[in-house]
Structure 1
């Protein structure tokens, strides 16, 4: 058995340091054993035999060499028996301290650091991985009860509730696990390795042994660090300056110049960034997504590729913000999340990067992740206004925690800071107040929003609008300019009713209203068209109805509306709410209408009639009551507002 540990000097004068042979180490070890057995045989039997066996089997040669050299340097010429025993035992605690944890024993005493890196044993494969002692990534603190972390305002279990399948406590702020089908899964490990300060597994074998780092390597590293954002060779100054000056005024010329220079310096950060910026400008000029994707690829390379990654923090942050913005513009939210996580990790003291990450999650309806990030942000920056309004929004939408939503939304809005004066936040604050029975406060919020130009009026609160369009709560058939199309549908109302009942009798064809608009009761829908597209599967159950809609272009092509059956059961109340846009009108064809059903739009209330149209502008506040005893069934048909031009119909985004 090879005994690896220390060179022990027993009862002899100091001699110049020299390397001990294996036989000498073995003889020294035998002497130590004799001494310690006389004092304590049990200690010797356990501490010597067990640890020798463990070390010989578990610790690689590199670690053995480190321990030996370190102890040789630290040993005094003469040692008493206790010092000898500590010299043998204590160095091994570096490698076996995980075993102490396994058996819940007290941790070992701190051991002086051997070199600039410490070795850590991988208990899975017994390899040695080296990591910097001063890691930028802080160790995760011992978990504490969440209630202890919250201020009195947040001491409510409802705040921590989460309607998702993923428990709230398991979500990580910086590196949230995404769905399995996300693009480029391999990005995760690479990003962790680049920015956590650790080494990737494939690089672990390339780490120099402690003490073997030479001055040439240091000089080379210093030189590379100086080139954090490279300087342009004076030979290319004129061309570079000309290219840079033309990025905005003549991006096509700038692109050609950058590509010419990149032939000579293909890894120049400044040239690559200039090319990306020129491509970005061209994509805006020509509305060409292919050019934008090429620009994004270069931005990613400058952010994530270790070989040419920008190391200057200010420049890195600037490029990262542009990259995320361009990614979200294209709808590439998953890639944007990955880059934004890197920004959060690299700039942990900037709450705006955390806010942006939460906002991207909200864009893809991942409210649980957004809530967790915002909650952690507010624990550190309690009065960050952007985090406040978004957190209040999430509490209302995800948890229906109206009381706390009002507190956070109001505090954020009243700050008046940029990013808080948006119709979305005023609308949700007013809605929460209304549902809490505080109608006068709600109306005050809506009025303030209208005065700030966030709403068309206190009652017309849609967010995607064309200001010039005629606005009134109810419309007559002739006012719409589509009376002939409406009459063709109306002529077949009994067949439309029959198809609706057939679909209703099929299992699980109607789905619950999904926008949390019900105060109480039951309200379900069966969608035939959405955003100008036909639902082929559902239309198989209602072929006549869908064919009639297909011949009604204002309805079938309405990218900002739907066509659907709507069934409401007795004792149902729908909260007052508004639609998303004033670019459409909403028409209801009464199919089965019992007594006691009412629709309020603005300040006017009406009811449905079987076989007749009821047309209104749902960008106005509207509310529904069903106080009858039978089901109410209507066909909902959204149509383009008659003042929307053909060109606008083609170019407006879908909702």
Structure 2
């Protein structure tokens, strides 16, 4: 029976690794969070009611999102006001695991909600946008995301396939030099226009233009065919993804993952220092750790 589970896990991990045209190297993929989530993600793909491809046309599958596009100017007004207040900013300290991993090169954010009600700061500073989001239950997370000239988002894939990513252009360079690349397909943001993509494909972004870029960034619940699949999706989102909540300022909720992240980051800094001193030892310990985890699971 253990061998059956091991083989199923390996088959799911291989599928996640091979499903796109762009792939991580074997060493990186081995420790990538998407590998550990592979069995759940494969279920999400199999049960999906929307195409499982890099880009999806939102108006074809999510008519309930249309109010966001219709009221983009109202949303932009609150986003620009936030920028004037310097509230769209980098994470303070080590309270945002995503920001401190692949979002560090110029990327800034202001969370509107994260798998819960709006942050108190968002409800106070962005009342119209948070009220609009509250009327669309399928929007599980939302933020204003800024990418200034020279800013970059590193290539990565998100861990969980239970959602799809919506980007709505608010204040953009309207320039092809400011773009996101999803599985080697590029999209350049435009004011008042949107795109939707599957964030479990490898994606990255750059702003090589002279203008700033601010978008509304939303996670939309993936429509699934079966009630048990929808229940599994919401269970994972509620108990694991919600733990990634990060505050905009004091008084906002911080999820358990981000409360623990400052301790993990201290270990990570030591690991980076070891890699600089002795790469062979660093990678030997890294793969021994993986083998130890596999052995522990097998022993259970």
Q: What TM-score results when the alignment is normalised by the length of structure 1?
A: 0.29
Contact 2:76–2:170 (Cα < 8 Å) also in 1:
yes
Structure 2 residue matching 1:564: 3-state secondary structure: strand
State which of 11, 14, 25 in structure 2 corresponds to 1:443. 25
Q: Which residue of 2 aligns with 1:540?
A: 124
Deviations 1:550-594 (A, max 9, x none): 010101xx3xxx200001110112110011200000100001111
Deviations 1:605-646 (A, max 9, x none): 111121011100101110101001111000011111012645
Q: CA RMSD in A?
A: 3.4
1:586 and 1:567 mapped to 2: Cα distance? 16
Unaligned stretches of 5+ residues in structure 1:
1-417, 431-439
Q: Which residue of 1 aligns with 2:56?
A: 475
Go from structure 1 to structure 2 and tell me whether the alpha carbon gap of 1:443 and 1:479 turns closer, same or farther (over 3 Å shift).
Answer: farther
1:514 aligns with 2:96: no
Deviations 1:246-281 (A, max 9, x none): xxxxxxxxxxxxxxxxxxxxxxxxxxxxxxxxxxxx
Contact 1:464–1:580 (Cα < 8 Å) also in 2:
no
Q: What TM-score results when the alignment is normalised by the length of structure 2?
A: 0.60
Contact 1:462–1:578 (Cα < 8 Å) also in 2:
no
Q: Which residue of 2 aligns with 1:641?
A: 222
Q: Which residue of 1 aligns with 2:211?
A: 630
Go from structure 1 to structure 2 and tell me whether the alpha carbon gap of 1:463 and 1:586 turns closer, same or farther (over 3 Å shift).
Answer: farther
Deviations 1:94-144 (A, max 9, x none): xxxxxxxxxxxxxxxxxxxxxxxxxxxxxxxxxxxxxxxxxxxxxxxxxxx
Cα shift at 1:473: 0.8
1:531 and 1:622 mapped to 2: Cα distance? 22
1:462 and 1:605 mapped to 2: Cα distance? 25
Go from structure 1 to structure 2 and tell me whether the alpha carbon gap of 1:441 and 1:601 turns closer, same or farther (over 3 Å shift).
Answer: closer
1:564 aligns with 2:149: no
Q: Which residue of 2 aligns with 1:256?
A: none
Larger radius of gyration: 1
Q: Which residue of 2 aligns with 1:592?
A: 171
1:55-70 equivalences in 2 (<5 Å): none
Contact 2:110–2:144 (Cα < 8 Å) also in 1:
yes
Cα shift at 1:533: 2.8
Structure 2 residue matching 1:610: 3-state secondary structure: coil
Q: Which residue of 2 aligns with 1:465?
A: 41
State which of 104, 108, 111 in structure 2 corresponds to 1:524. 108
Contact 2:88–2:145 (Cα < 8 Å) also in 1:
no
1:495 and 1:588 mapped to 2: Cα distance? 16
Determine which structure has the larger helix proportion and give its number: 1
Deviations 1:490-511 (A, max 9, x none): 1110110010011122244533
1:550 aligns with 2:134: yes
1:532 and 1:519 mapped to 2: Cα distance? 25
- How many pairs are equivalent? 208
Contact 1:463–1:580 (Cα < 8 Å) also in 2:
no
1:620 and 1:589 mapped to 2: Cα distance? 19
Cα shift at 1:446: 6.5
1:527 and 1:591 mapped to 2: Cα distance? 16
2:23 and 2:159 mapped to 1: Cα distance? 22
Cα shift at 1:650: 4.5
State which of 65, 69, 80 in structure 2 corresponds to 1:501. 80
Go from structure 1 to structure 2 and tell me whether the alpha carbon gap of 1:516 and 1:643 turns closer, same or farther (over 3 Å shift).
Answer: same
Deviations 1:228-249 (A, max 9, x none): xxxxxxxxxxxxxxxxxxxxxx
Cα shift at 1:516: 2.4
1:306-317 equivalences in 2 (<5 Å): none
1:619 and 1:473 mapped to 2: Cα distance? 9
Deviations 1:466-492 (A, max 9, x none): 522352111012443x22x22111111
Contact 1:462–1:620 (Cα < 8 Å) also in 2:
no
